[in-house]
Amino acid sequence: MHRPFPKAAITLLTIILGLRFSTLLSYFQLEASGASSYSNDWYNQYYTPLSNGFANIPTVLMNAGGAGLIGPSLKSLSERAVAKSPSSSSSNSRPNSNSNNNKSTRKRRLLLGISTKDYLDKAERQHRRIIRDTWLQQNFHDDGDPSSLSEYSSHNKVCSLHKLLQSTVQEDCQLVYTFLFPNKDNQRITNVEELLDVYNHQGNHNETQESKHDAFFISVDNPKNHYDVLLQWTQLVVQLSSQRRSLLGSFDYVGFATTQAMMFPQRFWKENSGIFQSTLPHESMVAGMPLIKEKEGDDDDSKEDFVTQCGKSFCLDPNFLCFSRDVIQHFATAKVLSFDTTMQEDGDAASLASSKLFQHFQDYKASTGSGISWKKLVGVQRAFKAPERVISVWDEYVATITDYRRVSIEKKNLLRPQEEEEEEEYQHAPVIDYEGNPRMLVGIFTTNLKPIERKRRNALRQTFIKSYDHTPTPHRICSLQELLKKKVSEEDCQLAYTFVVGAGKKNQAPMVNVNANHADEMVIPSSQITEPEPDVLYLNIRENMNDGKSETWFKYATLLAENQFYFDYITKMDTDTLLHPYPLFEKMSKWPKYPNNVHVYGGHYVVKQDAAQGKVTVLGTSYMDGPMYWLSPDVARFISDPNRCNHTELRTHAEDMSIGNYVNSFPYPIHRLTLSNKCYTHPLKSLEHYRKRWKRYKTKFKEFHP
């Protein structure tokens, strides 16, 4: 019978190894605990990490991200000593708190630097904002439903370096990130104390303040490529680790990212589990996205395997890299390699960075006598340059994960009032199928307070509204009033429009009316209007732009969709917007229709930081621009219900931002649709402009509009 290995011997072994490997010991200070992690980024600017445990935790959080990884499961130093002791294999050895259970629950931690440009660069501000509002903010419960977006949510295991330095519970953060900015005058940070001085200047986190809550200014004034930033980042990591070991010495891996990659976390963590949940001994590892893609149809025997490729050149995309601790130590002490070539284009810069990195790893092999273990990551890719495309891909990813479409749910369950006692009053509106294409109800916002508005209404009546009058489908575009009076069959009308006016008396009518139970209660009869127009809807509210007119319109349209006429989409449009019907209908033909048209928000993207330069609180990554946007009926019902959507708290000074806030507070993932400028023209300020643009449109599509 073996006696338990003495505890004193374990402690002594730990001290001896610690003296010999002082620079590495700081990485082993966490016990078997940690947090969770993610990452994301996108092509020519987008990135995002998220969080989740990596051992015996079946839950996989959902988000897309771009760089920064988490390393394999490694035991603490004392765990290794116990594991190697004679008592570790003895059946009579005393219980050990660092047992096999802790092998599986040990969560690997990552310190991630995200290389970006000057914080005054508008495009980069957009990319950083998207990153913050996706993988840095949005986490999910185990069942896939969105959880609290609070930075300090119990589900949030991603935090900034700022939060880490100020937090007393360090193991709460599994993925710690900071953006890496080029150095600027009076912003030189060389140690933790200076970093905290910057971070402690709290303020509104708008664009002028963003550098004070998740940024680090590196000493490369004008980096020519990401390689230069990477070297400085690794040196800073080692420097900060030596100054604050209790804070920065517990990371298993150090990641480097740019705003040019995108991750799909569920697939990433699941399919890379062999790397991130490994209990094998530590190895010198570099992981990332392969630069060389195998061509489909090639003979398997003719393909070089991934490891062989990595032996000939640097095989990983420098926009997404993760390094083990020993590799980072080598980088931090390495000299900057000199190159005579000056690269300007992004692709050449990446090529140059790859060449430099490969030389570093060749040097690493020569100096250490050991090679690099190259790891190919699944679930990461180059992202898209256009912000709206990135957001769209993100939405599609989240939608796929949560299965939000629910095609088997009937429309009545999507639109039905929430209270059971309302069931008896609910009337199911029949679904009209216009030749297999979705149908749209368009509210064109106008006013009787400005003479120019009447002229604009007439200009629209003479252009797109009458564009199908002399075609085989003359009622494809019709007025809502024609439908209400049954002058046009629903089956014949794909797009119904109405001009929307706030016609209530100034001192009597409310600014908003979203509490009505029937559509008729919300309008003023034409008989009570001076000089009424037959296709104008007169809402019983005071005329306004930003204080409730949009909410009232969507409430009215929702009541119509529930009880009288079903439309797949409900739209708000301005009078200085001219629709191009044919390309619009072509675009609509590809949109989901009943019963798949749920959780939809469409229009032209405005990324959050573009809104009043960050001075207004806007939920989510973006909102749709005011000239034209549309909602599916379930979303329209939600945003016009004050019992479910907090209008008072979420309303801003601009109606399109307000609607964006309402939609982004919707309890399910939103599916965004976009519309190109081929489908409409905006703005049209002069009447002559209406005529010229319409003439140009008819010339281009004359075969469809004789």
pLDDT digits (tens, 9 = 90+) for 373-388: 888 887 777 777 777 7
Residues of the chain scoring pLDDT < 70: 1-108, 119, 137-156, 167-172, 183-212, 219-225, 243-249, 265-266, 269, 274, 276-282, 292-313, 334-356, 365-366, 368-370, 399-430, 608-616, 705-706
Neighbours of 74 (CB within 10 A): 22
Would you say 447 and 502 are in contact if contact means Cβ atoms under 8 Å apart?
Answer: yes
Q: Which SS3 state, helix, strand or coil, does residue 297 take?
A: coil
How far, CA to CA in Å, does 288 sit from each of 144, 228, 313, 379?
A: 27, 18, 14, 10
Please choose, from the candidates 178, 138, 183, the residue with its C-alpha nearest in 3D space to the C-alpha of residue 157: 138
How far apart CA 560 and CA 81 sit, in angstroms, is 72
Q: What does the angle CA 397 – CA 400 – CA 402 come to, to the nearest 5 degrees?
A: 110
The pLDDT, as a whole number, for residue 140 is 39
Omega before residue 683 within 30° of 0, cis:
yes
Would you say 566 and 432 are in contact if contact means Cβ atoms under 8 Å apart?
Answer: yes
Q: How many residues does the chain have?
A: 706
The pLDDT, as a whole number, for residue 298 is 45
The pLDDT, as a whole number, for residue 269 is 66
Q: Which SS3 state, helix, strand or coil, does residue 282 take?
A: coil
Neighbours of 338 (CB within 10 A): 6
Please choose, from the candidates 228, 207, 208, the residue with its C-alpha nearest in 3D space to the C-alpha of residue 218: 228
Q: Residue 651, by phi and psi: left (phi above 0), alpha (psi -120 to 50) or beta?
A: beta
**Amino acid at residue number 478:** C
How do strand 316-324 and strand 285-290 relate by DSSP bridges?
antiparallel
Cα 361 off chain centre by:
34
DSSP assignment, residue 434?
A: B
Q: Which SS3 state, helix, strand or coil, does residue 532 take?
A: coil
How far apart CA 619 and CA 616 sit, in angstroms, is 10
The pLDDT, as a whole number, for residue 219 is 66
The pLDDT, as a whole number, for residue 280 is 52
Would you say 566 and 671 are in contact if contact means Cβ atoms under 8 Å apart?
Answer: no
Q: Which SS3 state, helix, strand or coil, does residue 400 take?
A: helix
How far apart CA 136 and CA 65 sit, in angstroms, is 9
Residue bearing tokens 């000939």: 312
**Domain boundaries along the sequence of the chain:** 31-73+108-292+303-389, 406-700
Q: What does the angle CA 122 – CA 124 – CA 127 come to, to the nearest 5 degrees?
A: 115
DSSP assignment, residue 335?
A: P
How far, CA to CA in Å, does 68 sit from each of 97, 296, 326, 474, 506?
A: 31, 29, 17, 57, 57
The pLDDT, as a whole number, for residue 441 is 98
The pLDDT, as a whole number, for residue 273 is 72
Would you say 260 and 66 are in contact if contact means Cβ atoms under 8 Å apart?
Answer: yes
User: pTM here?
Assistant: 0.64
How far apart CA 582 and CA 678 sit, in angstroms, is 10
Q: Please report, for the chain, how many H helices and E strands are present, in that order.
A: 24, 22
How do strand 46-47 and strand 41-42 relate by DSSP bridges?
antiparallel
Query: How is domain 406-700 classified at the CATH fold level?
Result: Spore Coat Polysaccharide Biosynthesis Protein SpsA; Chain A (3.90.550)
Please choose, from the candidates 600, 575, 608, 616, the residue with its C-alpha nearest in 3D space to the C-alpha of residue 674: 600
Would you say 391 and 672 are in contact if contact means Cβ atoms under 8 Å apart?
Answer: yes
Task: Write phi, then psi, for 170 (nearest 5 degrees).
Answer: -70, -30
Please choose, from the candidates 613, 595, 686, the residue with its C-alpha nearest in 3D space to the C-alpha of residue 205: 613
DSSP letters spanning 12-60: HHHHHHHHHTHHHHGGG---S--------EETTTEE-------SS----
